[in-house]
Structure 1
Amino acid sequence: MTKIKKMLIGVVVIVALLTIVLSFHNPYTDRVNPFISQETSYAQVDKGTQRYYNVKAYNPKTKKNLLLKKVGGYDPSGQYISIQHKSQYVKSIKYISKKQFETKE
């Protein structure tokens, strides 16, 4: 096999592996996936906890809903959040008032 054929096969294998890895949606792959853009969504969460699971978030710009599997918080008394995320990767959250939440819906 020539050197060019070996390099071409190597490139094809790398592209195939990257395609497979980036097709799975989890916080780790979504964080580095250049094809997913960062967006801001809004959600209502349960009071009394700082770990939220299966959060139903809404993005008013795209008018679409998203189910975030896990979101970590820091205010157990907060109930409404603004989430900056890339699909399942949550970059940051911000607690907002009920009035701010209702104007975003």
Structure 2
Amino acid sequence: MGVICIFSFHNSFTDRLNPFIFQETSYAQVDKGTQRYYNVKAYNPKTKKNLLLKKVGGYDPSGQYISIQHKGQYVKSIKYITRKQFMQAKE
């Protein structure tokens, strides 16, 4: 019963451990000039769903488009991509 209660909350810690959430790749456009992104609107082309990631950390303040490997709210990694790659992923 306690495990079900813990997994009903979605945050980076619980989603990382939750066996019912699978890793996926989503794409997003982020603001330039920062390396911390909050409330990122991401798109997954396989499921054709939009989702909101509460917090994503980056490393390139000049980048604007990212590919995000994540498991729910848990962000495993990000990769900066070109605008062309971003547009192709959204098609």
Is this a same-fold pair by TM over 0.5?
Answer: yes
2:53 to 68, 71, 75: 68
Larger helix fraction of residues = 1
What are the residue-to-residue correspondences of 1:17-32 with 2, within 5 Å?
17-32=2-17
Aligned residues between the structures:
90
Q: How far off is 1:90 after superposition?
A: 0.3
Looking at structure 1, the residues matched to 20 and 54 of structure 2 have their Cα atoms a distance apart, in angstroms, of: 20
Q: Name which one, 1 or 2, has greater alpha-carbon Rg.
A: 1
Identity of aligned residues (%): 80
Which 4+ stretches in 1 moved above 2 angstroms? none
Aligned residue identity for 2:22: S
**Structure 2, unpaired ranges of 5+:** none
2:84 corresponds in structure 1 to: 99
- Residue 79 of structure 2 corresponds to residue 83 of structure 1: no
**Structure 1, unpaired ranges of 5+:** 1-15
Looking at structure 2, the residues matched to 38 and 58 of structure 1 have their Cα atoms a distance apart, in angstroms, of: 14
Give the TM-score taking structure 1 as reference length. Answer: 0.85
Aligned residue identity for 1:28: F
Larger strand fraction of residues = 2
CA RMSD in angstroms, aligned pairs only: 0.3
Looking at structure 1, the residues matched to 15 and 47 of structure 2 have their Cα atoms a distance apart, in angstroms, of: 18
Looking at structure 1, the residues matched to 72 and 16 of structure 2 have their Cα atoms a distance apart, in angstroms, of: 8
Looking at structure 2, the residues matched to 35 and 67 of structure 1 have their Cα atoms a distance apart, in angstroms, of: 19
Q: Which has the higher contact order (CA 8 A, sep 6+)?
A: 2
